[in-house]
């Protein structure tokens, strides 16, 4: 498989602050990364698709000014939750496709997730 690293694993912040979450592909280059949000006992909700060198594509209902995505290199995408509020508390997970290695092209590999708690 391919390895995706996500950092930090847990963050607690005060309301109104901004939080940055990093997602790195460690052993492959990822032109596309995906950001998901997951509430307890619910499935993954796709927030946006991050494309290297271009603007992210956001899903309907996701505020692009609230959730800033930057994909500046082939191995790093960041999600910044701006002016975080308690309702933004959730589990955020990134994922990436390894489109270079045969057998991996259609598979989706996930980071370990970030638990965000906004006080």
Partner 1 sequence: QKEVEQDPGPLSVPEGAIVSLNCTYSNSAFQYFMWYRQYSRKGPELLMYTYSSGNKEDGRFTAQVDKSSKYISLFIRDSQPSDSATYLCAMSTTSGTYKYIFGTGTRLKVLA
Q: Which of 16, 108, 117, 119 binds partner 1 (CB under 8 A)?
A: 108
- 89 touching partner 1, by CB under 8 A: no
Nearest distance from residue 16's CB to partner 1, in Å?
25
User: What is the rounded distance in angstroms from the CA atom of residue 45 to the CA atom of residue 77?
Assistant: 18
Size of the site for partner 1 (CB under 8 A): 24
- 28 touching partner 1, by CB under 8 A: no
User: What is the rounded distance in angstroms from the CA atom of residue 74 to the CA atom of residue 53?
Assistant: 9
- 62 touching partner 1, by CB under 8 A: no
Closer to partner 1 by Cβ: residue 75 or 90 = 90
Note whether 19 and 81 are within 8 A (CB).
yes
Contact partners, residue 97, CB within 8 Å, separation at least 6: 30, 32, 104, 105, 106, 107, 108, 109
Closer to partner 1 by Cβ: residue 4 or 19 = 4
**Distance of alpha carbon 46 from its chain centroid, rounded?**
9
- 111 touching partner 1, by CB under 8 A: yes
Number of helical H runs and strand E runs in the chain: 0, 11
Binding residues for partner 1 (CB under 8 A): 1, 4, 6, 32, 34, 41-44, 46, 49, 91, 93, 95, 97, 106-113, 115
């Amino acid at each position: 498989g391919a390895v995706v690293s996500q950092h930090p694993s847990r963050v607690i912040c005060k309301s109104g602050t901004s939080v940055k979450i990093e997602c790195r592909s460690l052993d492959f280059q990822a032109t596309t990364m995906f950001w998901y949000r997951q509430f307890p006992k619910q499935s993954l909700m796709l927030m946006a698709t991050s494309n290297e060198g271009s603007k992210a594509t956001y899903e309907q209902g996701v505020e692009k000014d609230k959730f800033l995505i930057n994909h500046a290199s082939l191995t790093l995408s960041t999600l910044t939750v701006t002016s975080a509020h308690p309702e933004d508390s959730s589990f955020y997970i990134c994922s990436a496709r390894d489109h270079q290695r045969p057998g991996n092209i259609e598979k989706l590999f996930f980071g370990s997730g970030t638990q965000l708690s906004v006080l």
